[in-house]
């Protein structure tokens, strides 16, 4: 990520609302969560098709209704000339354990920017655990009673969910994209997994 793009990410993080299920006086703080998310997105390499990875919303929350602390965030990107769906993800970060590989660079010392990023993740104490793709324009995120709720707008021409009309063989192709309009999808987290539990 270029310095200019990283600067825009940090500006976006500063502008995010400090609302949601924030656990006052507990770790991680919302500011720490923002730093961890910025560091994580900084590691996603841009190319000539996908670039400008940016957060949409961040929450610090009880992930399961039983006191498991975590960070929940959504992010998207910009695409140019892509034939696939644009990155548009719901992500859960969980606490690092001693020796957790998620907090260690696979090639320490080779890429100084990665070393700095992993140092931030270790300092905050959280890293990505699991993610799922959201097939529409993100409009809301909340965590309540151990349930993660994502609101989004599905559109016929949305790059977040490509709607191919036919297969390579010319047969009608079933689409995984939801019908156009607003949607609320609900998920429950378990370690390493996000399970969609109800339809809107």
What tens-digit pLDDT sequence spans the chain (200 residues)? 444 444 444 444 444 443 333 343 357 999 999 999 999 999 888 787 888 999 999 999 999 999 999 999 999 998 887 667 889 999 999 999 999 999 999 888 888 888 999 999 999 999 999 999 999 999 999 999 999 999 999 998 888 887 765 455 555 444 578 999 999 999 999 999 999 997 65
Give CA–CA dist 43/106, Å, rounded.
13
Cβ atoms of 150 and 134 closer than 8 Å:
yes
**pLDDT on residue 21:** 39
**pLDDT on residue 15:** 41
Longest dimension (CA), the chain: 58
**pLDDT on residue 67:** 92
**pLDDT on residue 60:** 96
Residue 169 CB partners (closer than 8 Å, separation 6+): none
Give CA–CA dist 187/193, Å, rounded.
10
Residue 45 CB partners (closer than 8 Å, separation 6+): 1
**pLDDT on residue 200:** 54
Q: Which two tokens stand for residue 42?
A: 């900084």
Residue 19: Cβ-neighbour burial (10 angstroms; 0-12, 13-18, 19+): exposed
Give CA–CA dist 189/19, Å, rounded.
21
The conformation of residue 166, written as its DSSP 8-state character, comes to B
Q: Mind listing the pLDDT tens digit for each residue in 151-165?
A: 999 998 888 887 765
Q: Could you identify the residue written with the tokens 């994502």? A: 150
The conformation of residue 172, written as its DSSP 8-state character, comes to B
Identify whether 28 is preceded by a cis peptide bond (ω within 30 of 0): yes
Residue 107: Cβ-neighbour burial (10 angstroms; 0-12, 13-18, 19+): exposed
pTM equals 0.81
């Amino acid at each position: 990520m270029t310095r200019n793009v990283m600067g825009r990410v940090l500006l976006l993080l500063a502008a995010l609302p400090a609302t949601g299920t924030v656990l006052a006086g507990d770790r991680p703080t919302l500011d720490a969560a923002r730093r961890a998310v910025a560091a994580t997105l900084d590691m996603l390499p841009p190319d000539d098709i996908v670039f400008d990875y940016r957060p949409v919303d961040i929450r610090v929350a009880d992930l399961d209704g039983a006191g498991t602390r975590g960070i929940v965030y959504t992010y998207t990107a910009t695409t140019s000339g892509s034939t696939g769906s644009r990155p548009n993800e719901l992500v859960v970060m969980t606490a690092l354990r001693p020796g957790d590989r998620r907090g260690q660079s696979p090639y320490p010392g080779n890429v100084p920017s990665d070393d700095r990023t992993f140092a931030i993740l270790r300092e905050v104490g959280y890293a990505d655990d699991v993610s799922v793709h959201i097939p529409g324009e993100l409009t809301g995120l909340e965590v309540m009673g151990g349930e993660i709720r994502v609101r989004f707008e599905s559109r016929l021409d949305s790059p977040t969910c490509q709607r191919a009309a036919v297969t390579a063989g010319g047969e009608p192709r079933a689409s995984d994209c939801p019908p156009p309009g607003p949607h609320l999808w609900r998920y429950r987290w378990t370690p390493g997994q996000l399970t969609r539990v109800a339809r809107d």
